[in-house]
Structure 1
């Protein structure tokens, strides 16, 4: 497997133009002069790749697709790729340093490549292509205004957000099972003895997803974050234990739910319910 740590060697491998900057690289694909078949690879930076009418030789139908693909550090493309050199497209490459220095601009979509591409409509292709042309203008200019370039990068990320929300809404059946599996995993977690509170990463690992991807889908379909869903379920279980199991004192209820410190459980419960665990229990006595 080939691992690429910077744009220069990756671009050489693909047959792309040499990057003008070590932290950001923008360009258009030239498929006839590019590598169309690859061995397994990984890159140690972030890529947003828009490919229009891409035909993958490894699929049975060989139906052209138009989509945005994402690569992020530690993401391995195990099969490489084998495509027809007939597509069009553009790419944006960002170093880990660039992402960290401008973290406020970036949401969660850069690790979506582990799960699914973002399929584009014709109108969305026109919209994002127009932004890329403006990005190239400022990228190629010797007197480029970096802040303007950064603004267009932000526009691309914002468009990706809007397009993903459209994709989530267009085919909800594709994502409903993820929400259902998450909710069932939460129930299963508390159907056994627990030693700590669960977090979003725990359930993401159980479902074979990244925490960001799971969180965004759960938020889209429940209108609450994954963490809020976890907290709601913990409160539901806490109420059941306080009312139905009078033999347990507040400390024992806290440990039963996975809280390490009973005082934290009491503060958490009061913040969520408006009453302390003791006050809530007294209502039913």
Structure 2
């Protein structure tokens, strides 16, 4: 499988314009000139691709869509793309270096490509197109101002955030099972002996999702982060053990829940409940 390490070799292979910079590349698709049949490939950089009125040859009865697609390093781009050569659109390519140096700008959406595209309404297409027009202005300028360019990248990512929230809300049935499966996985985790506290990555792996994607869906539907949901469940289990198993001391409760250090459990419990485990039990007696 071929791996493309930089924009220049990938663009040349696919039929895109030559990049003006090694860390950020912005351009428009010219569909008739793009290579649409090739083997599966991997790009060692990040891509945000907006395709407008995109239609696959293999599904002629399906209406064209406008959508945002994401590619990240190590994510395989399937062979053949299979596109009718009449779509339009734009792309933004970002090096791993620029992502690391400006991580605060990019939030979590770049790894969504492993799960789903973001489908755009006509109004959203207009908004994204307007931002890209401004990005191109500063990208093609001889006196490029990278701070301004990155600011527009941030605007684009913020729009993506808003549009994903709309997509989550438009078809909640598609996402509710993710929250349900996450909650059931929490229950299953504590239905057997545990040796450590669970984390978001553990449940993401169990569900075959990325941690960011799982966290964003859980946050959207529960109004709490995935980690906050885990903490709430751990506190619920802690209260049950303290109430129903009076023979267990605080240390035993801590180990039962997967805490490595009982002192950390006591601090965690007090921070969440406002009382130490011992004080909680005393209140129950009263």
TM over 0.5: yes
* Per-residue CA distance 1:11-59 (angstroms, 9 max, x = gap): 0111001100000000000011110122111111000000011111234
Match of 2:195 in 1: 195
Aligned CA distance change for structure 1 residues 16 and 79 (closer, same or farther; 3 Å): closer
Q: Give the distance between the partners of 1:131 and 1:85, measured in 2 at CA.
A: 24
Match of 1:142 in 2: 142
Aligned CA distance change for structure 1 residues 61 and 248 (closer, same or farther; 3 Å): farther
Q: Which moved more, 1:137-146 or 1:59-68?
A: 59-68
Q: Give the distance between the partners of 1:59 and 1:234, measured in 2 at CA.
A: 47
Runs of 4+ in 1 over 4 A off after TM superposition: none
Cα drift, residue 83 of structure 1:
1.1
Match of 2:129 in 1: 129
Contact (CA 8 Å) 1:43, 1:73: kept in 2 or not? Answer: yes
Matched, 1:94 2:94: yes
Matched, 1:47 2:42: no
Matches within 5 A, 1:210-229: 210-229=210-229
Cα drift, residue 63 of structure 1:
2.6
Q: Which moved more, 1:53-62 or 1:173-182?
A: 53-62
Q: Give the distance between the partners of 1:190 and 1:63, measured in 2 at CA.
A: 46
* Per-residue CA distance 1:120-149 (angstroms, 9 max, x = gap): 000000011011011101101111222111
TM-score (norm 1): 0.98
* Per-residue CA distance 1:51-86 (angstroms, 9 max, x = gap): 011111234634311100000011112445211111
Q: Give the distance between the partners of 1:59 and 1:182, measured in 2 at CA.
A: 33
Quote the RMSD (CA, aligned, Å): 1.0
Q: Give the distance between the partners of 2:183 and 2:59, measured in 1 at CA.
A: 33
Contact (CA 8 Å) 1:68, 1:117: kept in 2 or not? Answer: yes
Matched, 1:63 2:63: yes
Aligned-partner SS, 1:49: strand
Aligned-partner SS, 1:194: coil
Matches within 5 A, 1:248-259: 248-259=248-259
Contact (CA 8 Å) 2:47, 2:72: kept in 1 or not? Answer: yes
Q: Give the distance between the partners of 2:222 and 2:62, measured in 1 at CA.
A: 36
TM-score (norm 2): 0.98
Contact (CA 8 Å) 2:44, 2:74: kept in 1 or not? Answer: yes
Contact (CA 8 Å) 2:36, 2:80: kept in 1 or not? Answer: no
Contact (CA 8 Å) 1:38, 1:82: kept in 2 or not? Answer: no
Contact (CA 8 Å) 1:41, 1:80: kept in 2 or not? Answer: no
Matched, 1:233 2:228: no
Aligned-partner SS, 2:144: coil
Runs of 5+ consecutive residues of structure 1 not aligned to the other structure: none
Match of 2:7 in 1: 7
Contact (CA 8 Å) 2:269, 2:275: kept in 1 or not? Answer: yes
Match of 2:181 in 1: 181
Match of 1:160 in 2: 160
Q: Give the distance between the partners of 1:78 and 1:210, measured in 2 at CA.
A: 19
Matched, 1:27 2:6: no
Contact (CA 8 Å) 2:37, 2:79: kept in 1 or not? Answer: no
Q: Give the distance between the partners of 1:215 and 1:60, measured in 2 at CA.
A: 35
